[in-house]
Structure 1
Amino acid sequence: MLKILFSPSENKKTGGTEEQKELFGSNSARETILNEYNSVVNSHNEEVIKELFGFKKFSDCQPYINDIFKSPLMHSIERYDGIAYQYLNFETLNNSAKEYLMKNSIIFSNLYGPIFGGDTIANYKVKQGNNIGNLIPDKFYKDRFSYQLDLFLSNADILDLRAGYYDKFYEINKPYLTLKFLKDGKVVSHWAKAYRGLVLRAVAENSINSIEEFMKIQIDTLSVKEIIKKKNRTEIVYEIR
């Protein structure tokens, strides 16, 4: 089976009606960082809260000042609402494609760490790169979840669609596929998020089960320019038409 590693987004949808469920690799480690987050958010220390969220005005923080353990829950693949997720357009997929993404996508959250697309999470705010109290999220989760991820992915093909920052959370120790996007011969950076979303949508619509199957699909607006192999990493370079 193909597993897709994906990034979260700063923007998120509010609300949620899903029930609490055990998250990927659920253990006391994740509870530790969630408790730390909750302590900061409910500390009444405006400067510390603004720093965690990445806001300049405390009024912007108010929607996120809640008890995370009592907040409404939503599937992570639906919670995130950044550019990649807008281009994924999860709501318009058929039920089979939705179920595929809930089971086969792993999103690397700045708060929750690695979670399935179908795992239920609260609305939260952690500015990428910020510490949560005294904890450094990427180091925290790399130290505590890498072994579990190695085991889970041991028999899977891997498509890594994460932004480079999220390599800090987990280093892949087996052959995997990643993508690069060019426009007029230049690497696309910010808008690469959009094309990652389009690729994820195509993978779900075609229920791709292996790298071999992925290599055969045609993705709108993208054409393969070259394929670069280096050690465990295979990179497809796409030209945006």
Structure 2
Amino acid sequence: MKILFSPSESKTLGGELKNLDDKAFLFSNLYDKRLYVLNLYNEFIKTASKDEVSKLFGLKKDFDIQKYTEDIFLKPVMKAVLRYDGVAYDYLKYRSLTQISKEFIDENVIIFSNLYGPILAKDEVVDYKLKQGENIPGFIFDKFYKDNFSLALDEYLQDEDILDLRAGFYDKFYEIKKPYLTLKFKKDSKVVSHWAKAYRGIVLRSVALNSVSTIKDFYDLNIDGLKVCSIIRKGLKSEIVFDITI
């Protein structure tokens, strides 16, 4: 089973300096495509006006903007699942997982990065800024990755069960073309947004700890604080609606 996951705006500092090569990311055959995006982004942040960069980053303070206009090829890298530290990642608590569970995450979670595109959780990325939905004039990140990586993803996922834990925005990067499972979370009969991020992390942690390898196994999984309310099937998508019970 492969799990599709979102990145986060906030990121952990630090990492190691390493040379970038075609083995750095998922789909080494598409390395040149990814490198094209990284070079385009790198050149833009170094040459664009302050206002343009501020908009791209979603930042206003000069100090913060200056920090993220450094050459990304000279910055330290860190495993993506450790670099991203938003709400979902806080609740995943990757560092506290067993080694077997960490390896499960590393190999089976595909994160849809706004800058890097689809990468494995183990792939290493820099501390960068790119506000969700922002683009470079004449270039749309999600469209580029959808146009150039969809076929590779189709082939990569063709024999896998798919659990889609992405936020809806990331459908723009890739449209799943086979049956898949997604989740919705409700509290007091209302769909939640902030807590949905937390529970995506909680669900992913539970999946990893139990080495869930099929959708059938997922249906049998008991997750603390969640109770199945309904299952809705429409087209290729099956959606479990969970009630948050705590």
Settle same-fold status: TM greater than 0.5.
yes
Secondary structure in structure 2 of the residue aligned to 1:108: strand
The answer (yes or no) to whether the contact 1:33–1:135 under 8 Å persists in 2 is no
Number of matched pairs: 240
Structure 1 segments of 4 or more deviating over 6 A? none
Aligned pair partner of 1:212 in 216, 219, 222: 216
Question: Do structure 1's residue 143 and structure 2's residue 143 form an aligned pair?
Answer: no
What's the CA shift string for 1:94-149, capped at 9, x where partnerless?
Answer: 11111110100000000000000000111110000000343111111000000000
Unaligned runs of 5+ residues in structure 1 are: none
Unaligned runs of 5+ residues in structure 2 are: none
CA displacement at 1:47 relative to structure 2: 1.6
TM-score after normalising by structure 1: 0.96
- Are the structure 2 counterparts of residues 160 and 126 from structure 1 closer, same or farther at C-alpha, using a change threshold of 3 Å? same
1:164 corresponds to: 168
2:3 corresponds to: 4
The answer (yes or no) to whether the contact 1:23–1:120 under 8 Å persists in 2 is yes
2:25 is aligned with what amino acid? L
CA displacement at 1:6 relative to structure 2: 0.2
Which whole-Å CA distance do the structure 2 matches of 1:148 and 1:227 have between them? Answer: 30
1:96 is aligned with what amino acid? I
TM-score after normalising by structure 2: 0.94
1:62 is aligned with what amino acid? Q
What's the CA shift string for 1:42-88, capped at 9, x where partnerless?
Answer: 22621221111011222221221221112101010110010000000
1:149 is aligned with what amino acid? L
Matches within 5 A, 1:102-113: 102-113=106-117
Aligned pair partner of 2:197 in 174, 177, 193: 193
Question: Do structure 1's residue 25 and structure 2's residue 27 form an aligned pair?
Answer: yes
2:14 corresponds to: 15
Question: Do structure 1's residue 74 and structure 2's residue 73 form an aligned pair?
Answer: no
Q: In terms of mean alpha carbon deviation, does 188-197 or 25-34 score higher?
A: 25-34
Give the CA RMSD over aligned residues.
1.2
Which whole-Å CA distance do the structure 2 matches of 1:230 and 1:63 have between them? Answer: 46
Secondary structure in structure 2 of the residue aligned to 1:191: helix
Identity of aligned pairs, percent? 54
Which whole-Å CA distance do the structure 1 matches of 2:86 and 2:17 have between them? Answer: 21
1:215 is aligned with what amino acid? Y
Question: Do structure 1's residue 46 and structure 2's residue 50 form an aligned pair?
Answer: yes
